[in-house]
Amino acid sequence: MPEESIENINFDDLNKRAISQPLISHIYTADPSAHVFNGKIYIYPSHDVDAGEAFDDLGSHFAMEDYHVISMDSIDSEAVDNGVALHVDDVPWAKEQMWAPDANEKDGTYYLFFPAKAHDGIFRIGVATSISPIGPFKAQPEAIKGSFSIDPAVFKDDDGSYYLYFGGLWGGQIQRWRTGEFNAEQPDSPTAFLPENNEPALLPFVAKMTDDLFEFAEKPRTIEILDENGNLLLAGDNERRFFEAAWLHKYNGKYYFSYSTGDTHFICYAIGDNPYGPFTYKGQILEPVIGWTSHHSICEVDNKWYLFYHDSSLSKGVTHLRSVKLAEITYNEDGTIVPLKPYLD
C-alpha cells in the first residue's frame, strides 16, 4: 500500500478490522517462513530494526542485522520469541542486510538459509546449522557457491530431495545477473537492466541441494511462470509476474509456487506438476497489506492450511517495521485457493 495513502488511515479502526493480529509485538518481524517440526510450529522471520537508513528503492532502509526464531505449541497458543538465533557479525562472508530467511530439517540437524550482502555489495545465500530448531545457528564460513539474489525458500519433497528457491527484483539484484555475471554498472539504480514491459518477466530460480544441504547439486535454473495460454508472463504484467518472496508447498499431489508481485503488493500463486515447474498462474492468495512489502509462507498444521504473512499495522504504516501474522486459507474443489482480504470492510 503506497506510503502517501497512510496519512488518512485510522489505525485503531484498521487493526480492529484486521483478520489477524501480530503474533509478537515487542519487536518487529517480517517475511515469516513457517514449518512444523516435532509437532511444534517454528517461524523464521526477518527481524526489522530502524537503523536510520534513508528510504530508497534498493531497500537500504531494510538494514536487518540478525534473526530470531518464533515458536508456537499450537496454532492458537502464544508465540514465543526465542532470542537471537544468528547475527551478521557471526557470518564471516556477510556484511549487512540479513533479509528474509527460511529453514528446514534433515536427520536431526536444522538448517537456516539466509541472504545477506557480502563485503563486495552482492547478495549471496548462506547456510547455518543447529541441533535445535530455535538455534543458536552456526554459519558456514562461505556462502553457497554459485548463489546470488535473495529470499531463499527450501522445500523438502516426498522423496527426500531438497530444493532451494530464490530471487528478487530491484534491491534483490536478480536483474543484474541476466548475462550470468553480476552487472555492477549504475549501482544506485534499482531498475537498471530490467526487461521492457512487452518482454518476458524475469524469473525466479531453483536448484536441488546436495545431500549435506550446504551447496547446490546443480546449476540453478529458472522457473517458468505461464499464463492461461501457456505463455511466459510479461514484465509489464506487474499484477501477476514474480517480484520476490518465492515459496513452494504441495497440496493434493500438485506443486504450488507462490510469490509477491512487489510493486503491486499481491501474493499470487501458480501450480505445476513437479518442483521445477513450469507453473501456471492461478490467482491471488492475499490482497495488499499496509506497508510496501508483502512476503509469506504457507504451512499445514493439524490438517489445516495457514498463510503466514506480515503487515505494517503495528508501526502505523512504517514500511520497514513490520509484524508477522497468520490466517487460515482454504481451497476450492478444483485446487484453487480462496483469496484473503487482510482487513474486513
Average pLDDT, the chain: 96
Reference 248, options 25, 48, 35, 49; nearest CA is: 35
- DSSP tag of 319: T
Radius of gyration of the chain (CA): 18
User: Does a structural domain hold residue 29?
Assistant: yes
Q: Taking residues 296-320, what's their average pLDDT?
A: 97
Please indicate, yes or no, if residue 343 is contained in any of the structural domains. Answer: no
**Has 31 been annotated as catalytic?**
yes
pTM: 0.97
CB of 171 within 8 A of CB of 57?
yes
Domain-located, residue 97: yes
Q: Is residue 344 part of a domain?
A: no
Within 10 angstroms of residue 309's Cβ, the number of other Cβ atoms is: 28
When pLDDT is averaged across residues 58-72 and rounded to a whole number, the result is 95
Distance CA 32, CA 45 (A): 4
pLDDT of 4 higher than 60: no
Residue 44 burial by Cβ neighbours in a 10 Å radius (0-12, 13-18, 19+): buried
Position 256 in a domain: yes
Whether 211 is in a domain gets the answer yes
Residue 5 is predicted with a pLDDT of 66
pLDDT higher than 70, residue 77:
yes
What is the number of domains present in the chain?
A: 1
19 lies in a domain?
yes
81 domain residue, yes or no: yes
**20-34, 49-63, 227-241, 321-335: segment of lowest average pLDDT:** 49-63
For 164-208, write each residue's pLDDT tens digit.
Answer: 999 999 999 999 999 999 999 999 999 999 999 999 999 999 999
Helix, strand, coil abundance in the chain, percent, nearest 5: 10, 40, 50
Active-site entry in 31, 48, 151, 224: 31
Give me the residue label for grid cell 537508513: 53
Per-residue pLDDT, 286: 98
The whole domain housing 221 covers 11-338
Residues 53-73: what's their mean pLDDT? 93
Rounded Cα distance, 310 and 285, in Å:
13
Catalytic site residue from 48, 81, 244, 311:
244
pLDDT at 195: 98
Paired with 31 in beta bridges are none
Q: Assign residue 89 the CATH number of its domain.
A: 2.115.10.20
